[in-house]
Amino acid sequence: MTRLSVNRKAYEVEADPNTPLLWVIRDDCGLTGTKFGCGVAQCGSCTVHLDGEARRSCVTPLKAAVGKEVTTIEGLSPDSTHALQKAWIEVDVPQCGYCQSGQIMSAVILLKENKKPTDADIDAAMSGIVCRCGTYNRIRDAIKKAAMNGGAK
Amino acid sequence: MKRNSTFSNRNALKLALIAIACFALAGFAWKGGVTIEPVDGSVVNEQTIETAPNPAAAMAAFNEAAKVFFSARCANCHPASDVPTQGDNFTPHAQGVTRGKEGKGVYGMKCNTCHQDQNLEGDHMPPGVPNWHMPPADQKMVFQGLTAGQLCRQLKNPKMNGGRKTPKEAIHHLEEDPLVTWAWTPGDGRSVPPISYEEFMKQMNAWVANGAACPE
């Protein structure tokens, strides 16, 4: 039995300590907003936060999350009113939507560390999150809009 | 992909994630002299590197050890640019990874976003060791594109080597940093440096013992 805190809620899960955190989040915690993309930390769809830092949950073992706070897309805000979520809706960023929770979770880290990111900053922060629909221009617009509207708050 | 498959047998994407080798040799330090042990209980002499006991032996030792520094596992994270490379052919790191001020990446693209405290089982999985990183931006400790002599002089330059002050400190760094020894246990699908760690350390010790002279 492993004790885990996800979105400030305590869980006890029966899982091998080496189980990728992604599957614990999805299968044991029932939080399916975090997506499986490649399984080798290449695409970024599975990005979550561990104590406020981005982590590819598909390669992060459960044991690495013990004693830390896991934040998933569901934990960003109780009612989808995080500045980035609002900007995402306003700009109508998603097409298929599969990668978007990873995009937003990565953008949160960007705006936490950089309140007014330039295009180059956005490229540096977001280049590792692959969007098969190619929504990159809208992602860029939404990040800038969110930055103007309160950023990571 | 099933949860119980943990990290192995992943055929979903064959993207080229090969190890980046953050080989934290960003710390050799020299202050320009080596301490010679007294033979008669008298005052310890300070002898400069230029008047080292055996420059030819030192240079030969460094040339041999340089094979390790220049190998992919080590040099991939010691690029001239701010983009680490990966694989044995020094391909720019996937995902547009960049150095960042502290050598640990930027924003949500930090080294430990993907690199864990240990290697992960299976080809194309991120290699890992605690505190995976590159040299920081202010002391890049470049390995790629240098000659052995250039590398040697860089290692001895206190302004470029992380501030370690003696040859003994440098050797200690090589012995104690898990990023150094990781190169010989790099995980599935990765080559290792051309000489063993023991031989590497033997050559580095010989280089120091003979005065740490640099090849041309």
Q: Is the pLDDT of residue B47 over 50?
A: no
What pLDDT does A153 receive? Answer: 56
Residues with Cβ within 8 Å of B156's Cβ and at least 6 positions away in sequence, in order, are B28, B30, B32, B49, B212, B214
Q: Does A127 touch chain B (CB under 8 A)?
A: yes
Q: Where are the domains of chain A?
A: 2-75, 83-148
Tell me which amino acid residue A127 is.
S
Q: What ipTM was reported for this prediction?
A: 0.95
Q: Does A33 touch chain B (CB under 8 A)?
A: no
- Closest Cβ–Cβ partner in B6, B94, B96 for A20: B6
Please say whether the beta carbons of A37 and A45 come within 8 A. Answer: yes
Report CA B150 to chain centroid distance, whole Å. Answer: 15
What pLDDT does A150 receive? Answer: 80
Q: Is the pLDDT of residue B77 over 80?
A: yes
Residues with Cβ within 8 Å of B204's Cβ and at least 6 positions away in sequence, in order, are B61, B65, B170, B171, B174
Query: How are beta strands A2-6 and A69-71 bridged, if at all?
Result: parallel
Q: Is the pLDDT of residue B15 over 50?
A: no
- What's the pTM value of the predicted model, to 2 decimals? 0.85
Q: What is the CATH number of domain A83-148?
A: 1.10.150.120
A44-84: pLDDT as tens digits: 999 999 999 999 999 999 999 999 999 999 999 999 999 99
CA gap A16, B4 in Å, rounded: 8
B122: chain A residues, CB-CB within 8 Å: 40
Counted across chains A and B, CB pairs separated by less than 8 A come out at 105
CATH topology of domain A2-75: Ubiquitin-like (UB roll) (3.10.20)
Which residue in A40, A48, A68, A99 has the most chain B C-beta atoms within 10 A of its own C-beta, making it the best mutation to test that interface? A40
- Give the pLDDT mean for B97-124: 97
CA dihedral sign, ordered A82, A85, A88, A91: negative
- Closest Cβ–Cβ partner in A23, A37, A56 for B113: A56
Question: What value does the mean pLDDT of chain B take?
Answer: 80
- Closest Cβ–Cβ partner in B1, B109, B122 for A124: B109
* CA-wise closest residue to A84 among A131, A150, A7: A150
Distances in Å between the Cα of A73 and the Cα atoms of B85, B120, B191 are 31, 25, 38
B49 vs B19, which has greater pLDDT? B49
> Which residues share a beta bridge with A49?
A54, A71
What pLDDT does B101 receive? Answer: 97
- Residue whose token pair is 């030819």: B56
SS3 A48: strand
* pLDDT band per the 50, 70, 90 thresholds, residue B167: low
- Give the pLDDT mean for B87-99: 96
Torsion of CA B88, B91, B93, B98, to 10 degrees: 120
Inter-chain touch B97–A38, beta carbons under 8 Å: no
What's the alpha-carbon Rg for chain A, to the nearest Å? 15
Q: Which helix (H) or strand (E) element contains residue A106? A: helix A100-113
Q: Does B101 touch chain A (CB under 8 A)?
A: no
Inter-chain touch A127–B113, beta carbons under 8 Å: no
B188: chain A residues, CB-CB within 8 Å: none
Distances in Å between the Cα of B37 and the Cα atoms of B34, B46, B54 are 10, 9, 16
A86-135: pLDDT as tens digits: 999 999 999 999 999 999 999 999 999 999 999 999 999 999 999 999 99
B113-163: pLDDT as tens digits: 999 999 999 999 999 999 999 999 999 999 999 999 999 999 988 888 888
- Give the pLDDT mean for B50-70: 89
- Closest Cβ–Cβ partner in A15, A39, A54 for B113: A54
φ/ψ of residue A80, rounded to 5: 60, 35
